[in-house]
Chains A and B, each alone.
Chain A
Amino acid sequence: MNTFSYTRANDVADAVQNGSVKTNFKFIAGGTNLLDLMKENVERPDHLIDLSRITLKEIEDTADGGLRLGALATNANTAYNQKVEERYPLLSKAILAGASPQLRNMATNGGNLFQRTRCYYFYDLATPCNKREPGSGCSAINGYNRIHAILGTSEHCIATHPSDMCVALAALDAKVNVTGIHGEKVIDFADFHRLPGDQPQFDNILEPGDVVTSLDLPKNNLSKHVTYLKLRDRQSYAFAIVSVAAALELDGDVIKDIRVALGGVAHKPWRIKSAEIALIGKAATVENFKVLAENLLADAKGFGSNTFKIELAKRAIVRALTEVAKAI
């Protein structure tokens, strides 16, 4: 049998300590992604360190008026939490657009950040994949790449990050609280995931043994005009072809604050702050939204079966913003 050891961590320190003495280990939380990958032999850890008993399940106010989401709170408990629903409805909507109720009951907020790409080739050991086996090649670039990235790609990998939740977290300027061997650190969500470059095997900037303890959502005025538009190949239970997390703060029809993050198009949630800032003080019109869409997709590049995403993403952005601007 593919043998591995299993340890239950009592608290974060215990988890970090355990991680510091093991090689080829994986943390496990809800297990909804990791176990699948283990069954497919994509991940073959020698040790599992179970985080699920750690009491990082709370969702509580922060001193500066924001909200802290425990890394081990489930996606379901987060989406249906009253404070999240009232103050960060964008996050609720994004979470509920993903997976299925059963999965969301198991999946944790921490685990969601680490879920791996759904690239067909990444899952199929019969085909080369740089992310799974660095240096073996990328089968998707010249293969079937309907679900692949159009932004921030490299010649080594064109995979997307499949999360819905993370797209909202990116739009909301979340911060990721991490504890590792060298102590605690806070990472801006925009910097958490990385682009594939020549090391597509790394999805994010964490060091081995780093534990995500919580996510902080800063205070904002973005609870009124929000939407999460997810375009996919069936109405439910499918990953995004393109998704848009959109939020507006309006003064009349003048934009005071605007956030647009895209999912399904890159190795990380895609946001260009300068393109958003350019719209502040301007009117919430379709024309202005189109300008933003063009800017967000300016560097987009298709690979054949996913080229349609470039135009589709632009349309989705305009639709999402038009809808939130209307909903007063």
Chain B
Amino acid sequence: MKTDYIGKPTSRVDGALKVTGTAKYAAEFSADGLTYGYVVSSTIAQGTIKKIDLEEALNLKGVLQIFTHENVSGLAWFDRSYKDEDAVAGSPFRPLYDKKIRYSMQPIALVVAETFELARYAASIIKVEYTTESHISDLKENIPNSFKAPKGKVGFKPPVSRGDAKEAFENAPVKIASEYIHSAEHHNPMEIYATTVVMEPDGKLTVYDKTQGVSNCQAYISKIFGLSAKEVRVMSPFMGGGFGSGLRPQYQLFLAVLASLELKRSVKVSLTRQQMFSFGHRPASVQQMALSASPDGTLQSIAHTAYGETSMFEDYTEVVVNWSGLVYQCENVEQKYDLVKLNTYTPLDMRAPGAASGFHAIESAMDELAYALKMDPLALRLKNYAERDQNDKKPFSSKALRACYAEGAAKFGWDKRSIEPRSMREGNNLIGWGMATGSWDAMQMKATANAVLTADGKLTVGSGTSDIGTGTYTIMTQIAAETLGLPIENVTFKLGDTLLPEAPLEGGSWTATSVGSAVQSVCTTIKEQVFKLAKKVKNSPFANADLKEVNFDNGEISLKLNPSKTLSITDVMKQSGKVSIEEEATTMPNPIHMLEYSFNSHSAVFVEVKVDEDLGTVVVSRVVSAIAAGKILNPKTARSQILGAVVWGISMALEEDSVVDNNFGRFINHNLSEYHVAVNKDINDIEVIFVEEKDDVINPLGIKGLGEIGLVGVAGAVANAVFHATGHRVYNLPITMDKVLGLSE
């Protein structure tokens, strides 16, 4: 059919807006009399502000106000008012709340001035005196003070153990044990965090914010500042990358709203790139793995312990270790996840939170075990393939991981691999092949969408979700167009606005499933209405037909058995005298299915590296990523998601490193010159395979989401390839030349 868009490569509907600069981002909105805020960040990591001298700055003509803990009061009292949808256990950070400094680069003042340059200058002449106290910033050193990760975050399940891993390990003939460390990583989306608050003439606020959840921000602002939902409209039509950094309201939102309400002016607050290192990040982790097996490779025990960092005020949790017990069949599994409090901001979900870190350790350890067994690493995975989720003792709604292994290996040429390390070379380069498994949750949340079909055959669908660059605009438009059988040009999808029906936070790879289901549902309802009308029009060919007996395609309704009998949707509307049909629908995951099944996407990643034997430099020359994620809505945007995630994985494996200087308790390479992310030259061949995976259980569309799965496993596969090339295993990320050469740890 002409308007079957689902599953077809479809170019981004917002592509032209983006490449012509028409798409507007939070800092690009303006208003009459707009003022500008600039944030002053603390220079110490722990202590108190003794004195903050604003005089010189306040005397500058054009400086309107400087907000500090000394002049901000009367805001919500209880922690619950500051908790947002992605909050964790503990007491959320309150900007400008008291004189206490809890982490380096904590916002301690907001200067508001008539121009950005003036605000920035005024900020630079504010004199702050601190009473410095000793800080805690070294994760590894502070492991003795670790504690069990508490519940509190939506979706976080504390790990459970089964069997007796210790005893099995003792008795097993083949075993390995190792420790993996990586430091914090920052999301660093291209677009910097910014909020433009427009004070409307009636005193209401229109807030343009960089966020992955407009309703989350609206609720946050309303609770803290005592406003009703009607008084605050939050919009975020475009986002220059999120990766999880926009799941919680960032402090510039609080500051911009505060200033706007106090000054009765419109205010824009934009952070600097350095300040992008002053909030959530992927937490540093120390992981310990111990695996044992019988000589044929059957796993006897898995022990996985992870220590993650968190802030002094909240306990951030993510699922790091549970994956060990999920992906492999094993009776004896010990899983432990502890936190260590540091003087840092609370970590925050970053693309495949927990899994990206956890799988690096699990898959590196599986690789190490394969060598100990003298076994092919892929064969070891297949030997221990988990048919069921043993953590939760449930079947999977679908699991085509075997197909990922098979198709990925075939495309990569895995069967030509020699098991011995250092067995392939080319000039000065040692060549290595490594592989890894990945998994991610396939989640669905409650979501609502509305839709209006007008007499001209145009459909507008809306839901307050966001498009963080993933292609939400496009896939929702596809789903709506196909469901109602309309040409894609006749469909507009709206998002990122609290006037739209509520959608969940854009994260966790659940947007396609959640919002997609709501969009499909509301369009189906409209379709039913249109068909009811169609049956009633004069001489209707469908008078006696059932909805099942007709096609909606290309703006027309036709009888399946007699396609020449048609009526166009516009005719139906006209003849019925309908100006528009408006509907709203809310969808939720099937609660019975939720109890009965586990929902996961899977991947198999194959990597080739070239390592200079003398110099230790690593080039990832080839990657094959095979993904099982249910039905693929749009192979084009889907492939981009996986490509981007693989690039990220390479970056994570080889480059990304937010370095804490423990003398200052401060991220010290806080700019994009020294915080390295992969550049074009680092990236070579990447092939993406979507294996067939039919899933009738998960949702009517059969989709699982693709935001994170492409990243999981990549770092492990790269690390394993480096070992295969060199015979030297690098346990700590990033894998830099000095570590490859064994010159640094």
| A interface with B by C-beta (< 8 Å) | 1-2, 41, 118, 120-121, 123-127, 139, 142-144, 146-147, 231, 233-239, 241, 305, 307-308, 311-312, 315-316, 318-319
The distance in angstroms between the C-alpha atoms of A118 and B674, with both chains bound, is 9
A126 & B664 in contact (Cβ 8 Å cutoff): yes
Q: Closest Cβ of chain B: how far from A83's Cβ, in Å?
A: 28
The distance in angstroms between the C-alpha atoms of A2 and B121, with both chains bound, is 6
* A239 contacts across to B, CB distance below 8 A: 673
B671 & A236 in contact (Cβ 8 Å cutoff): no
B743 & A1 in contact (Cβ 8 Å cutoff): no
B43 & A308 in contact (Cβ 8 Å cutoff): no
Task: Give the residue of B615, B676, B682 whose beta carbon is less than 8 angstroms from that of A231.
Answer: B615
25 contacts between A and B (CB under 8 A): A120-B661, A120-B668, A120-B669, A120-B674, A125-B43, A126-B104, A126-B666, A139-B661, A139-B663, A142-B663, A143-B664, A144-B668, A144-B669, A234-B676, A234-B679, A234-B682, A235-B619, A235-B681, A235-B682, A236-B680, A238-B676, A312-B616, A312-B737, A312-B741, A316-B615
B661 & A143 in contact (Cβ 8 Å cutoff): yes
The distance in angstroms between the C-alpha atoms of A233 and B681, with both chains bound, is 12
Report B112-142 CB contacts with A as 1/0, cut-off 8 Å.
0001011011001000000000000000000
Q: Closest Cβ of chain B: how far from A208's Cβ, in Å?
A: 24
B681 & A236 in contact (Cβ 8 Å cutoff): yes
Q: Closest Cβ of chain B: how far from A126's Cβ, in Å?
A: 3
A308 & B741 in contact (Cβ 8 Å cutoff): yes
Q: A1-B117, A118-B674, A236-B679 are in contact. Are A124 and B668 (CB under 8 A)?
A: yes
The distance in angstroms between the C-alpha atoms of A312 and B115, with both chains bound, is 49
The distance in angstroms between the C-alpha atoms of A126 and B741, with both chains bound, is 34
Any chain A CB within 8 A of the CB of B678? Answer: yes
* B674 contacts across to A, CB distance below 8 A: 118, 120, 147
Using CB atoms, name the residue of chain B closest to A238: B676
Additional pairs, 15, CB under 8 Å, beyond known A1-B120, A319-B428? A2-B120, A120-B661, A121-B668, A124-B668, A126-B43, A127-B43, A139-B663, A143-B663, A233-B655, A233-B676, A234-B676, A239-B673, A307-B744, A315-B614, A319-B614
Q: Closest Cβ of chain B: how far from A148's Cβ, in Å?
A: 12
Q: Closest Cβ of chain A: how far from B63's Cβ, in Å?
A: 11
The distance in angstroms between the C-alpha atoms of A139 and B120, with both chains bound, is 26
* A139 contacts across to B, CB distance below 8 A: 661, 663-664
Any chain A CB within 8 A of the CB of B654? Answer: yes
- Of residues 691 to 745 in B, which have CB atoms within 8 Å of A's CB atoms? 736-738, 741, 743-744
Q: A1-B115, A144-B659 are in contact. Are A235 and B679 (CB under 8 A)?
A: yes
- Of residues 539 to 581 in B, which have CB atoms within 8 Å of A's CB atoms? none
A143 & B668 in contact (Cβ 8 Å cutoff): yes
A1 & B118 in contact (Cβ 8 Å cutoff): yes
Q: Closest Cβ of chain B: how far from A98's Cβ, in Å?
A: 13
* A316 contacts across to B, CB distance below 8 A: 615
A308 & B744 in contact (Cβ 8 Å cutoff): yes
Using CB atoms, name the residue of chain A closest to B674: A120
B615 & A319 in contact (Cβ 8 Å cutoff): yes
Using CB atoms, name the residue of chain A closest to B663: A143
Using CB atoms, name the residue of chain B closest to A143: B661
* A143 contacts across to B, CB distance below 8 A: 661, 663-664, 668
* B428 contacts across to A, CB distance below 8 A: 319
A1 & B737 in contact (Cβ 8 Å cutoff): no
The distance in angstroms between the C-alpha atoms of A231 and B614, with both chains bound, is 12
The distance in angstroms between the C-alpha atoms of A139 and B666, with both chains bound, is 12
* B673 contacts across to A, CB distance below 8 A: 118, 239
Any chain A CB within 8 A of the CB of B670? Answer: yes
Using CB atoms, name the residue of chain B closest to A123: B671
Using CB atoms, name the residue of chain A closest to B41: A126
Query: What are the 8 closest A-B residue pairs judged by CB atoms, nearest first?
Result: A126-B43, A308-B743, A308-B738, A235-B681, A236-B681, A1-B117, A120-B668, A235-B682
Q: Closest Cβ of chain B: how far from A217's Cβ, in Å?
A: 29
A312 & B615 in contact (Cβ 8 Å cutoff): yes
Q: Closest Cβ of chain B: how far from A106's Cβ, in Å?
A: 16
Q: How many residues of B contact A (CB 8 A)?
A: 40
B661 & A144 in contact (Cβ 8 Å cutoff): yes
* B120 contacts across to A, CB distance below 8 A: 1-2
Any chain A CB within 8 A of the CB of B617? Answer: yes
* A305 contacts across to B, CB distance below 8 A: 744
* B670 contacts across to A, CB distance below 8 A: 124
The distance in angstroms between the C-alpha atoms of A120 and B118, with both chains bound, is 26
- Of residues 425 to 483 in B, which have CB atoms within 8 Å of A's CB atoms? 428
The distance in angstroms between the C-alpha atoms of A146 and B669, with both chains bound, is 11
Q: A2-B124, A41-B124, A139-B663 are in contact. Are A234 and B741 (CB under 8 A)?
A: no
* B682 contacts across to A, CB distance below 8 A: 234-236
The distance in angstroms between the C-alpha atoms of A141 and B271, with both chains bound, is 30
- Of residues 74 to 122 in B, which have CB atoms within 8 Å of A's CB atoms? 104, 115, 117-118, 120-121
Report B617-642 CB contacts with A as 1/0, cut-off 8 Å.
10100000000000000000000000
Q: A124-B670, A308-B744 are in contact. Are A234 and B664 (CB under 8 A)?
A: no
B738 & A312 in contact (Cβ 8 Å cutoff): yes
Q: Closest Cβ of chain A: how far from B246's Cβ, in Å?
A: 25
The distance in angstroms between the C-alpha atoms of A315 and B741, with both chains bound, is 11
Q: Closest Cβ of chain A: how far from B599's Cβ, in Å?
A: 37
The distance in angstroms between the C-alpha atoms of A311 and B614, with both chains bound, is 10
The distance in angstroms between the C-alpha atoms of A315 and B428, with both chains bound, is 12
Q: Closest Cβ of chain B: how far from A289's Cβ, in Å?
A: 12
A311 & B668 in contact (Cβ 8 Å cutoff): no
The distance in angstroms between the C-alpha atoms of A311 and B117, with both chains bound, is 46
* A142 contacts across to B, CB distance below 8 A: 663
Report B16-33 CB contacts with A as 1/0, cut-off 8 Å.
000000000000000000
The distance in angstroms between the C-alpha atoms of A312 and B614, with both chains bound, is 8
A311 & B743 in contact (Cβ 8 Å cutoff): yes
Using CB atoms, name the residue of chain A closest to B616: A312
B741 & A311 in contact (Cβ 8 Å cutoff): yes
Report which residue of B43, B736, B744 has the largest number of chain A beta carbons within 10 angstroms of its beta carbon. B744
The distance in angstroms between the C-alpha atoms of A305 and B661, with both chains bound, is 11
Using CB atoms, name the residue of chain B closest to A124: B668
* A2 contacts across to B, CB distance below 8 A: 117, 120-121, 124
* A124 contacts across to B, CB distance below 8 A: 274, 666, 668, 670
The distance in angstroms between the C-alpha atoms of A319 and B429, with both chains bound, is 13
The distance in angstroms between the C-alpha atoms of A239 and B669, with both chains bound, is 13
Q: Closest Cβ of chain B: how far from A116's Cβ, in Å?
A: 13
* A236 contacts across to B, CB distance below 8 A: 679-682
The distance in angstroms between the C-alpha atoms of A235 and B618, with both chains bound, is 9
Report which residue of B43, B118, B274, B673 has the largest number of chain A beta carbons within 10 angstroms of its beta carbon. B673
* A118 contacts across to B, CB distance below 8 A: 673-674
The distance in angstroms between the C-alpha atoms of A212 and B666, with both chains bound, is 38
The distance in angstroms between the C-alpha atoms of A319 and B616, with both chains bound, is 12
* B663 contacts across to A, CB distance below 8 A: 139, 142-143
Using CB atoms, name the residue of chain B closest to A120: B668
Using CB atoms, name the residue of chain A closest to B655: A234
The distance in angstroms between the C-alpha atoms of A118 and B661, with both chains bound, is 16
Using CB atoms, name the residue of chain A closest to B664: A127
* A123 contacts across to B, CB distance below 8 A: 671
The distance in angstroms between the C-alpha atoms of A241 and B739, with both chains bound, is 14
* A308 contacts across to B, CB distance below 8 A: 738, 741, 743-744
* A126 contacts across to B, CB distance below 8 A: 43, 104, 664, 666
Using CB atoms, name the residue of chain B closest to A142: B663
Q: Closest Cβ of chain A: how far from B114's Cβ, in Å?
A: 11
The distance in angstroms between the C-alpha atoms of A125 and B669, with both chains bound, is 13
* B666 contacts across to A, CB distance below 8 A: 124, 126-127
* B121 contacts across to A, CB distance below 8 A: 1-2
- Of residues 583 to 637 in B, which have CB atoms within 8 Å of A's CB atoms? 614-617, 619
The distance in angstroms between the C-alpha atoms of A238 and B672, with both chains bound, is 10
* B678 contacts across to A, CB distance below 8 A: 234
Q: A139-B663, A308-B744, A319-B615 are in contact. Are A233 and B115 (CB under 8 A)?
A: no
Q: Closest Cβ of chain A: how far from B174's Cβ, in Å?
A: 34
* B124 contacts across to A, CB distance below 8 A: 2, 41
The distance in angstroms between the C-alpha atoms of A233 and B115, with both chains bound, is 38
The distance in angstroms between the C-alpha atoms of A318 and B615, with both chains bound, is 10
